[in-house]
Structure 1
Amino acid sequence: MTELHQAAAAGDYDQVEEILRQQKCDPNHRDIDWSYKTPLHWAAAKGHTETVRLLIEHGARPCLRTEHGWTPAHYAAESGRLAVLRLLHSLHAPIDKKDCCGEKPARVAEIYGHQDCVQFLKKAEIECQVYRNLAAQKGISLDDTDEEWTAQSNENEENLIRNSNTQT
């Protein structure tokens, strides 16, 4: 875990700002020991809204996923961090992506009993899709795909198919 991961998880805004200002750590660094979480995943999970904003302003990509496909929105939903979810949505972060089990943040919030988050996310999912469609029509490129995770997921799926074919 990098110094930036630790500061983001602790919600130490000043420390996060200093690390980012000095460019001491990549805000998109994935921690292998913690399921490939980025500092943004930690800040979202802990509900550190202003730290989330700061990280995104310094290039943190809210579309990046952990090894199980969780975005920062999944972690905010799990912890019932409505303010973080609202911020992510206002910044056009993908809040409706499915994880490796097919669960969206709204379902995660539902599982953990965060009804305020569920209600918000159900409405926000529709707005997110409308925004994606408008961006596509206008030729605006969105940063809403984690290419590395997608490639790894596709490779894992191909391996499963290959293994099942060799076992039959």
Structure 2
Amino acid sequence: MYIRILPTLTRANMAGGLEIHEAASTGDYDSLEEYLRSGKFDVNLKDEEWGKRTALHWAAAKGYVECLRLLLENGAKGTARTDSGWTPAHFAAETGKLTVLRALFNAGIPIDRKDKCGDTPRRIAEMYGHTECVRFLESAEEEQRDNRASRNSMYMSEDEDRES
């Protein structure tokens, strides 16, 4: 089985605003909150050295739900993609972080996006044997599809009303 090592960022590779990445990757909520409150950091900054990961990707991968919520509350894009097309949900699925997947879902973040290879977070969870995550993602994907279909039909009926 192939296992990806998720490195911990260090002060040595911090430059140009990546302090929020370090705080998110270590679960340092207080520092993360302070950095975000200062307004000096781009919450969606992509780290070029780590495949264009954002702080949200790190929080999701490491399972720091409170940091993840704080980032989302401060404008982090829940569907931000790395250079391989992974979203925070892909990282949570890879590492079996069910609470993170639930938090993303509850925040209204689509959890069924495909990466550049066509894999969804559910497929990643299947590959790594995270059965609870797979079960959750199956039902969450279905609910999100139903919600999208319902919104689409609502918009279609509004368009029909305007044409009448």
TM-score (norm 1): 0.80
Q: Which residue identity does 2:66 align to in structure 1?
A: E
Percent identical pairs in the alignment equals 53
Instruction: State the match for 2:84 in structure 1.
Output: 68
Instruction: State the match for 2:110 in structure 1.
Output: 94
Q: Which residue identity does 1:93 align to in structure 2?
A: I
SS at match of 1:93: coil
Provide the C-alpha distance between the structure 2 equivalents of 1:39 and 1:137, rounded to a whole number of angstroms. 36
Return the offset for 1:135.
3.6
Describe how 1:57-136 pairs up with structure 2 within 5 A.
57-136=73-152
Higher RCO (C-alpha 8 Å, min separation 6): 1
Q: Please list every run of 5 or more consecutive structure 1 residues that lacks an aligned counterpart in the other structure.
A: 140-168
SS at match of 2:108: coil
Instruction: State the match for 1:47 in structure 2.
Output: 63
Return the offset for 1:11.
0.6
- Distance change >3 Å, CA 29–CA 118, structure 1 → 2: same
Provide the C-alpha distance between the structure 2 equivalents of 1:15 and 1:80, rounded to a whole number of angstroms. 25
Return the offset for 1:129.
1.3
Describe how 1:6-45 pairs up with structure 2 within 5 A.
6-45=22-61
SS at match of 2:40: coil
1:21-70 CA-to-partner distances (Å, cap 9, x unmatched) read 11121110111111000000000000000110000000000111000000
Q: Please list every run of 5 or more consecutive structure 2 residues that lacks an aligned counterpart in the other structure.
A: 1-13, 156-164
Q: Which residue identity does 2:130 align to in structure 1?
A: H
Q: Greater CA radius of gyration, 1 or 2? A: 2
- Alignment size in residue pairs: 139
CA RMSD of aligned residues (A): 1.2
SS at match of 2:129: coil
